[in-house]
Amino acid sequence: MAQRMVELIEAKRDGAALSADQIHWFVQGVVEGRIPDYQSAALLMAIYFQGMNRQETVELTMAMAHSGDILDLHDVAPVVVDKHSSGGVGDKTTLVVQPLVAACGVPVGKMSGRGLGPSGGTIDKMESIRGWSPELDLARFKQQLRDIGLVLSGQTSDLAPADGHLYALRDVTGTVPSTPLIAASIMSKKLAGGADAVVLDVKVGSGAFMPTVEAARDLAQIMVEIGEDAGRRMAALISNMDEPLGYAVGNALEVKEAIATLRGETTAGMAVPPDFWEHAVTVAAHMVLLAGRVPSLDEARSLVTAARDRGDGLQKFRQMVAAQGGDVRQVDRPELLPQAPLVETIAVKRAGYVTRIDAGALGWTAVRLGAGRAEKGAAIDHAVGFVMPVKVGDRLQAGDTLATIHAASDGALRDAEEAIRAAVTLRDEPVEPLPLFYDMLGET
Ligand code: URA
């Protein structure tokens, strides 16, 4: 039925539920380029404030999933697994987990996104590698999955194109932290990507879009239900984002940290952060378990760890980089990845226990350094960011390293120093380290 976009905006602005027809008309209009960005942005903001009921969220997800093709991968493998994070600071989990799971003999077909607000995006990180491309048509997606057991694509004109458009708009219009918009964005990609089993990593905390465990649980629950209703096996982990994951924040720096983690050693000055490895091995083990490769989580963990220890995960990562046009010399020698002109280590000024880290502020610090976007489609600087080997609960002495900042200019470096110092609270009383996970839903 013909609609007028302004009527949808006004209806949602005033708190009404949109009909299935209206939602499908909107999503189709976005993909066909009939709806100008300013009207889409207005509707997104109305949804941000007014929310969507369960039925609207399901319709939005389905309309976005069906805005392109829905892959059927059963001619490639009987069970393909996927994972997705709801977004966090320093979250380079996919770069480690995907090759490790593939190295365990479980094919991983994954569609990722770019940076979103203060949270980095897998595609932006991978594009730090010269020549690497997320643009794969359906035939190549399948062929690569068949050939090497892993593929990492972005939203394309074939796969979840509506999410490609809306995601880029949400990034720059302050409309990211909305449960229905996140659920539809993530699950449309997961349904279109064709995986049989999906592990969701739903983050909670100052560096996440969900501020409380309850809100994260609600988001996880609706995504698990949408997936299960579509016949997928689903698991969701609720994980901590009250401090960055690992040490590195910024695209090439995170790729280096991921390579170091796959190697299990210090690489080009990047050590393996214990929290990041524990997080990665847990997510990977859940993927291996959900795919039915082994009967228990303990066995899945052993399989994943052995794949890392044998170097098979690193080999898979290398194969994926090569298959998607990337320069594997930068994987073998991470020091060849983009380097910022200015690198400076800043020290702690007073002794104390780290009691709080404002991960969200740190994410925005990376964006301001140039690692993320202020405008739709803007270029980013892959080299900039920081490495902060500091966790809540650590006891620090004056003079210890607080962070090493990688910046494009002196002004940006000084701004980042001020922001990083302000984001870390030191007190005299000890505090416990933060847990990595709070809860699990679905088949865990
Ligand atoms: N990841 C996505 O793909 N979409 C969101 O909205 C948030 C995280």
Check whether 144 has a pLDDT greater than 70. Answer: yes
Q: Which atom of ligand 1 is nearest to the CA of 181?
A: 6
CA of 209 to the centre of ligand 1 (A): 9
Give the pTM: 0.95
Q: Which atom of ligand 1 is nearest to the CA of 182?
A: 6
Dihedral of the alpha carbons of 389, 393, 399, 404, in degrees to the nearest 10: 20
Q: List pLDDT tens digits, range 299-319.
A: 999 999 999 999 999 999 999
Residue 213 gets the label, from left (phi > 0), alpha (psi -120 to 50) or beta, of alpha
Residues with CB under 6 A from ligand 1: 86-87, 113, 116, 181-182, 185-186, 189
Q: List pLDDT tens digits, range 360-394.
A: 999 999 999 999 998 888 999 999 999 999 999 99
Using alpha carbons, select from 254, 228, 299, 218 the residue that is nearest to residue 51: 218
Q: List pLDDT tens digits, range 86-106.
A: 999 999 999 999 999 999 999
Using alpha carbons, select from 387, 404, 407, 261 the residue that is nearest to residue 331: 261
By most ligand atoms within 8 Å of CB, the mutation choice from 182, 190, 203 for ligand 1 is: 182
Check whether 250 has a pLDDT greater than 70. Answer: yes
pLDDT for residue 12: 98
CA of 115 to the centre of ligand 1 (A): 9
Q: Nearest residue CA, atom 8 of ligand 1?
A: 86
* Residue 343: both structure tokens together: 């690198």
CA of 87 to the centre of ligand 1 (A): 6
Using alpha carbons, select from 197, 209, 274 the residue that is nearest to residue 442: 197
Q: Nearest residue CA, atom 5 of ligand 1?
A: 182
pLDDT for residue 261: 96
